[in-house]
Amino acid sequence: MNWVYIKDFKEHIGEEITVKGWIYNKRKGGKIRFLLVRDGTGIVQCVMSKAELPEEEWGKFSILTQESSLEVNGKLRAEQRAPGGYELDVESINIVQIADGYPITPKEHGVDFLLDNRHLWLRSRRQHNIMLIRNEIAKAIRDYFYDNDFILIDTPLITGSIGETASTLFETKYYDFGTAYLAQTGQLYLEAACMAFGKVYGFGPSFRAEKSKTRRHLSEYWHIEGEIAFCDNNANIDLQEDLVVYILERVLEKCRPQLEAIDRDISALEKVKKPFYRFSYDETIKILQELGSDIKWGDDLGGGDETILTKQYDKPIFVMNYPVKAKAFYMKRNPDNPQTVLCSDLLAPEGYGEIIGASQREDDFDLLLQRIKEENLPEEAYDWYLDLRKYGSVPHSGFGLGLERTVTWICGLKHVRESIPFPRMLYRLYP
């Protein structure tokens, strides 16, 4: 028989086909039995008729448990009333494996239970749809960079130089060199690469030992970073805006059924058009204080601040030029106000908050060395990075977008843990 995926049914109406998958659900109706079978690309209602089927085939209905694996042979029909718009009239069934009592049932489960069963939870419809949207977002990002002549540069995950801040490093023993770290960012290496290729990007995991339980933090997340030579902070912001609009347009074009299935308010996503809001850090502090935050000039925005701020706006907000002490060592001083740096955070609306961190990089050798010293970073680990300021230094800028934060926003999720197949968090290493 001809094995057909459910997503391709359109081209096979009236044919004898085989569907290979798992039992999603089943139900009885008079002399008819219904098997809901999922195959990873969709769900189809398979109809068993007592009158049409030999005794042995008919008997299989009662043996098949939730998530049992099987191959169903039958004739495909268009059926408006059936879920998905098709029905398969069963001719025979080949049982592959009868599943044990499946732990996830249609009743409500607590999130800890579901996370303990993440390896199975991924099969459920909502999780399935979220992963399809994640897949499309990742593809859109790769397409955007490829179509705009960025070169993909894979940066090391084990590194000797601290990329962001010493406070959230995972350490690992590294042969005779002592301690190495799991990379928090590929940025420093992308800076080297952009001096070789002009426009580069990275797409890989980053690691943060975040000892806090928030709905925004993972210990391991997927980080998309762009880096551009001869690019200032403003051009960098324009680029991020363009990328985020591109991602949303793609998701709205390709993933409407998935967004509807997870009850996302699509109209909120449709409002995300250029130009985004651009606020200075100073303005932002004033707005936050008016909204009741006790934030003071000099503080980084806390998660709570991002929530109250972005609930007020229907489009993403670039918050620009943070104080030096709130941000990483590599950011370039703002010539108009040396207390601040040339940087931006992009905050997603509806309470979501930061999805991108970005800046123009310090390109002056002496100023960068001074910042490395001020932060007590081990100078010898940064010789190579400082070299970039000795051999043809140029103004350059870049940004890092968190894939899970972006998926969480676009899908309208409450917590980042549902945006990644197997989340790593303070209290979770299993499964």
Quick one: what does residue 225 bind among ligand 4AD, Mg ion, none, with the CB cut-off 5 to 8 Å set by partner type? ligand 4AD
Strands (E), 237-296: 277-280
CA distance 166 to 152: 27
**What's the Cα-to-Cα distance from 362 to each of 109, 153, 182, 345, 383, rounded to whole Å?**
50, 21, 24, 17, 15
Q: Which stretch binds Mg ion (CB under 5 A): 56-64, 173-181, 351-359, 362-370?
A: 351-359
CA distance 322 to 337: 10
CA distance 354 to 356: 6
CA distance 308 to 286: 13
Of the pair 42, 357, the CB lying nearest Mg ion is at: 357
Q: Which of 44, 130, 169, 218 binds ligand 4AD (CB under 6 A)?
A: 218
CA neighbor of 399 nearest in space, from 278, 238, 273, 282: 238
Q: Which of 210, 232, 249, 350 binds ligand 4AD (CB under 6 A)?
A: 210
Tell me: does residue 26 bind ligand 4AD (CB under 6 A): no
Q: Is-contact 38 70, C-beta < 8 A?
A: no
Q: Binding-site residue total for ligand 4AD (CB under 6 A)? A: 24
Tell me: does residue 368 bind ligand 4AD (CB under 6 A): no
Q: Which stretch binds ligand 4AD (CB under 6 A): 170-178, 242-250, 317-325, 351-359?
A: 351-359
User: Shortest gap between Cβ of 391 and ligand 4AD (angstroms)?
Assistant: 21
Tell me: does residue 355 bind ligand 4AD (CB under 6 A): yes
Quick one: what does residue 400 bind among ligand 4AD, Mg ion, none, with the CB cut-off 5 to 8 Å set by partner type? ligand 4AD
Tell me: does residue 357 bind Mg ion (CB under 5 A): yes
Phi, psi of 429 (to 5 degrees): -130, -5
Q: Three-state DSSP class for 333?
A: strand
**Span 63-102, contacts to ligand 4AD by CB under 6 A:** none
Q: Is-contact 65 101, C-beta < 8 A?
A: yes
Q: Which stretch binds Mg ion (CB under 5 A): 59-67, 129-137, 175-183, 350-358?
A: 350-358
Quick one: what does residue 360 bind among ligand 4AD, Mg ion, none, with the CB cut-off 5 to 8 Å set by partner type? none
Tell me: does residue 221 bind ligand 4AD (CB under 6 A): yes
Alpha helices in 28-122 (DSSP H): 55-63, 111-116, 118-121
Tell me: does residue 116 bind ligand 4AD (CB under 6 A): no
Q: Which of 319, 398, 411, 418 binds ligand 4AD (CB under 6 A)?
A: 398
User: Shortest gap between Cβ of 47 and ligand 4AD (angstroms)?
Assistant: 45
Of the pair 4, 348, the CB lying nearest ligand 4AD is at: 348
CA neighbor of 38 nearest in space, from 57, 60, 19: 19
CA distance 160 to 182: 9
Tell me: does residue 233 bind ligand 4AD (CB under 6 A): no
Interior CA angle at 401 toward 260 and 160, to 5°? Answer: 140
Structure tokens that stand for 312 in this block: 């007020």
CA distance 48 to 52: 8
Give the footprint of Mg ion on this chain (CB under 5 A): 357
Give the footprint of ligand 4AD on this chain (CB under 6 A): 163-164, 184-185, 187, 208, 210, 217-218, 221, 223, 225, 354-359, 398-400, 402, 404-405
